Chain A
Amino acid sequence: MQQNPTLQDSKTPPLQPSNGLAIEARGLSRRFGHVVAVDALDLTVERGRIHGFLGPNGSGKTTTLRMLCGLLRPSAGTAKVLGMDVAHAAEAIRRQIGYMTQRFSLYEDLTVIENLEFVAVVQGLPAKKRRVRLDELLGRYGLKDHRRQIVGTLSGGEKQRLALSAAVLHEPKLLFLDEPTAAVDPQNRRDFWETLFDISDGGTTILVSTHYMDEAERCHSLSILDVGKLAASGPPRRLAETLGQRVVEVETATPREAQTALHRAVGVLSVAQIGTHLHILVDEDASDPVGVVTTALRDAGLKGQVTSAQPGLEDVFVAVTIARRKREAARSAA
């Protein structure tokens, strides 16, 4: 799939970033009244990467994206997008980014082609290129048969593909996607990610927010957000590796009893039942995670096979949120 990331370059001299970073944020914060939505966030995204924002609802993902798009002013901190300061160069940034909002934000009462034509003109796509580009997008995103269809009557997956084509229509260097797969089924999600990799191959940097672990795992790098704070960041695999041996699995005939017993055990952070297995995260201070779990089961008079397991992103997420709760508890105690 061919992408031409130098469309803007033909009109304006390329704005050279200070380094190979597409996004660089320091201490980025945003308050709404007394609520701190984003709290001193540091973020670096290298060019050409797919960077994920992982976090539950209300963790500040959308607020951060909006600040990076220049839609919200940071209460504190600075951010450079494509080498330009969001506080001063919002308009220049807008010409080079694409933004797919969380909520569908094209006109439901216009047809597919009317929407795309509108966005094309507003984005300043030259008239000569417009027709070719729109045909190309309609073909690539499977919307050719829906050209003249009123957008309000499209399915969730079709709307999402339309929203994506509108966001990449002007061949942005940086693409912001805010929970793009929230309204689509798993098959469409897989296809959608294939498309993202195609776009990424063309040289576009992508910042995508999600609360799906499987999507987060596909990103080149990841920032885990928790109540507005950066909880962890790095490539998904390395994040998981930081947990070392702390994940333990138990196979037992009495999973409910074992779960109750383990919940009470010292050193056990979380227990989740997956089928007949128990998936357990052990405290980082424990030197022998398998030993901790074995002892706890024996003390409760239960039998089970305890093995060390490969940590996943979900474990990272759980570890991060629990660590935060512990810090908060310690602070309120002091």
Chain B
Amino acid sequence: MNSLRRLFAIMQKEFRQLKRDRVSFAMIVMIPLIQLTIFGYAINTDVRHLRAAVSDESRTDLSRELIAMVAQTQVVDFVGTASGPRELEQWIKEGRVSVGIVIPFDYARRVERGEDQPAQLLVDGSDPIVGQAVMQLAQLRLPGVKATATSRNAAVEERATAMTSPVSRPIIPFEVRLDYNPERISAVSIVPGLLGVILTMTMVLFTAVAIVRERERGTLEMLITTPVRTAELMIGKIVPCIGVGLVQISIILCLGVALFHVPIRGSLVDLYIAGLAFIVANLTMGLLNSTFAQNQFQAMQLTFFFFLPSILLSGFMFPFDGMPVPAQWIGELLPLTHFNRMSRGILLRGATLSEIGRDLWPLAAFFCVVMTAVLLRFRKRLD
């Protein structure tokens, strides 16, 4: 009974302090807001809007339509017109453009004769992702050429169909994402991952700072001289932060839906349950962090020590299956890995918690192990 009263008193105190701490309060809202907007727009694994230039020596309707079709794919943006292939090569060398399209003076004639590769694609191969994207684009034919040809005569159409056009839409990412992300917008697949990344950063730091700040201000010395128990203190610190985490999930989801049209195909209840487990796991990590850190700066450093592998090895940055096996082992230990799987499953694939619940248990295990370590490490002493 006394224990519950003390727990409640600590929670009440934390809420009051949070209410008056405008900086922290702003951080709760601003961190997800800013991070989501920046990352959502910036992290883009689809190659789009590569800078391109064209050298059109043909100057015919056919060549202009080819250019228009390429532009429509949005894979490239035309930023200039070169006087000839030499100038295009120079621009690529200087890095002014990544892609150059050379349309020779006899382009229209070649197309009508049905010759292969009537135009040429110059690609900056020094960036493998650019190279890959544009080379894929080069393997496909452009429907627009066919359409243009149709209006002329059937024979030309046939030849045009057989032609290996130099430019077309990339097809492999499209195929892969067709079910879940037909518009190939990265943000849709990034947001469920970002949800976990943002929570990892704020939650670990929040509890770590909550304890370390008391240490720095000297109030911890007062607190540990009272009959308050370690578990009461720790739980009292965690509970208000859970509320903060849930608020952040809501902010991110709302923004994700509003800005990036992220679909919510599964149940929100499932997502919040998964989120709750994930939040608690990260909060205990923050508490463990605070048993090592003597000041807020150290707490920050330790948070990053945890944050970086979380980002890199959780499958957020790189596909999990593509990682070396030892890296996967480490990844399996991190809460973010399991939450990523659940949030992607629930939001994008419409999975239910019973289908992907196997990722809940690692979070529960993480909480138990880390909390035990916290209770063993935190001493009501100063030495």
CA distance A75 to B16 in the complex (A): 40
Is B354 an interface position by the 8 A CB rule?
A: no
- Interchain nearest-CB distance for A129 vs B (Å): 13
A122 touching B21 in the complex, CB below 8 Å, given contacts A66-B382, A114-B13: no
Is A180 an interface position by the 8 A CB rule?
A: no
A121 touching B217 in the complex, CB below 8 Å, given contacts A94-B225, A110-B17: no
CB nearest to B12 among chain A residues: A118
CA distance A94 to B225 in the complex (A): 6
A122 touches B9 (CB 8 A): yes
Q: Which residues of A contact B152 (CB under 8 A)?
A: none
A107 touches B9 (CB 8 A): no
On chain B, the number of residues with a Cβ less than 8 Å from chain A's Cβ atoms is 27
Is A294 an interface position by the 8 A CB rule?
A: no
Q: Which residues of A contact B222 (CB under 8 A)?
A: 99, 101, 105-106, 119, 166
CB nearest to A11 among chain B residues: B2
A109 touches B218 (CB 8 A): no
Q: Which residues of B contact A118 (CB under 8 A)?
A: 9, 12-13
Chain A, 86-97, contact with B by CB distance < 8 Å: what is the 0/1 string?
000011001101
- Interchain nearest-CB distance for A239 vs B (Å): 30
A110 touching B16 in the complex, CB below 8 Å, given contacts A69-B225, A101-B221: yes
Q: Which residues of A contact B225 (CB under 8 A)?
A: 69-71, 94, 97, 99
CA distance A40 to B382 in the complex (A): 20
State the majority secondary structure of interface residues on B.
helix
Q: Which residues of B contact A110 (CB under 8 A)?
A: 13, 16-17
- Interchain nearest-CB distance for B212 vs A (Å): 15
CA distance A114 to B9 in the complex (A): 10
A109 touches B224 (CB 8 A): no
A70 touching B13 in the complex, CB below 8 Å, given contacts A106-B222, A123-B227: no
Q: Which residues of B contact A70 (CB under 8 A)?
A: 225, 380-381
B380 touches A90 (CB 8 A): yes
- Residues A268-313 near B (CB distance < 8 A): none
CA distance A166 to B219 in the complex (A): 12
A122 touching B6 in the complex, CB below 8 Å, given contacts A94-B226, A105-B219, A105-B222: yes
B219 touches A106 (CB 8 A): yes
B16 touches A124 (CB 8 A): no
B6 touches A105 (CB 8 A): no
CA distance A105 to B217 in the complex (A): 7
CB nearest to A123 among chain B residues: B226
Q: Which residues of A contact B226 (CB under 8 A)?
A: 94, 119, 122-123
Is B86 an interface position by the 8 A CB rule?
A: no
Is A238 an interface position by the 8 A CB rule?
A: no
Chain A, 246-279, contact with B by CB distance < 8 Å: what is the 0/1 string?
0000000000000000000000000000000000
Is A108 an interface position by the 8 A CB rule?
A: yes
CA distance A219 to B380 in the complex (A): 31
CA distance A105 to B224 in the complex (A): 11
CB nearest to A124 among chain B residues: B2
Is B383 an interface position by the 8 A CB rule?
A: yes
The answer, among A73, A97, A105, A166, for a CB contact under 8 Å with B383, is A73
Q: Which residues of A contact B (CB under 8 A)?
A: 66, 69-73, 90-91, 94-95, 97, 99, 101, 103-110, 114, 117-119, 121-124, 150, 166
Q: Which residues of B contact A (CB under 8 A)?
A: 2, 5-6, 8-10, 12-13, 16-17, 20-21, 217-219, 221-228, 380-383
**Given A105-B219, A105-B221, A118-B9, 7 further pairs, Cβ under 8 A:** A70-B381, A71-B383, A97-B225, A99-B225, A106-B219, A122-B10, A123-B226
